[in-house]
Structure 1
Amino acid sequence: MTSPQSAYRSVVRELNRALTSAPATRSKTIAKNFRAVIENGRQSNPQHFDHDLANALTFMRSQRMHKMLLERYNPLHDMSTEERVKATARRVGLDMPVRENGGEGQ
């Protein structure tokens, strides 16, 4: 089993990788509260808490890997429906026709 310090550091590293904002703009209260949760959890039931912390770490790593794989193999996943249709049409060499919103023939 890993030491409590290494488990804490691993979770902090995963949190830093998951966050998109710059370190200087992150809220300091979140870090304080996280540290307090870790300390209180260790005092109540250390063995059970270490297991839960390891599970949380595995979950965060899996989420990050899933997001990375989605971006790599499905580049259209974060686009709107209209953008996705245009990008798909461009991929096969077509351009989408310009829609007229005021036309009665639709």
Structure 2
Amino acid sequence: MISKHTSAYRGVLRELRRSIEPSRKVNTSIVSHFRCVVQSYRESKDPQILVDLDNATLLLRSQREHKRLLERYNPLFDLTAEERIHATARRVGLDMPVLHKKDTS
């Protein structure tokens, strides 16, 4: 049977893996920090660690969901200011004029 500490630790690691971009790996220092925290609390027999780990898991899950909802319902959030203006103009049926660039010669 898996201990409560181990399952909470695995839950945090699972959310860490899900929260990062697919092309990147989980930072080993974050994993080792969580491992040290769980190990130290396991030895002290403090029940508060389970609550803290559950809260960390919930925070990671909520951040991931928030990012997903932003991408879904606000497609302009990751654009530059100029790209956002062009996209907004296109949304209402307008095209931005092509700006004339001065020749320095």
On whether the aligned pair clears a TM of 0.5, the verdict is yes
Matching residue's letter, 2:95: D
* RMSD between superposed Cα atoms in Å: 2.4
| Partner in structure 2 of residue 97 of structure 1 | 97
| Partner in structure 1 of residue 56 of structure 2 | 56
- Give the conservation status (yes or no) of the 8 Å contact 1:10–1:57: yes
- Give the conservation status (yes or no) of the 8 Å contact 1:42–1:50: no
Measured against aligned partners, the alpha-carbon deviations of 1:54-84 in whole angstroms (never above 9, x if no partner) come to 1111111111111111111001011111100
- Where in structure 1 are there 5+ consecutive unaligned residues? none
- Which runs of structure 1 show a deviation greater than 6 angstroms over 4 or more consecutive aligned residues? none
Measured against aligned partners, the alpha-carbon deviations of 1:18-49 in whole angstroms (never above 9, x if no partner) come to 122546x5554443333122211332352111
SS in 2 for 1:77: coil
Query: How many residues of Structure 1 are paired with residues of Structure 2 in the alignment?
Result: 101
| Partner in structure 1 of residue 43 of structure 2 | 43
Matching residue's letter, 1:57: T
Distance 1:9 1:26, change over 3 A: closer
TM-score by length of 2: 0.79
Q: Percent identity?
A: 49
Deviates further, 57-66 or 38-47: 38-47
Distance 1:26 1:56, change over 3 A: closer
- Where in structure 2 are there 5+ consecutive unaligned residues? none
Q: Tell me, in whole angstroms, the C-alpha distance in 2 between the residues paired with 1:39 and 1:58.
A: 20
Distance 1:46 1:14, change over 3 A: same
| Partner in structure 2 of residue 68 of structure 1 | 68
Distance 1:3 1:94, change over 3 A: same
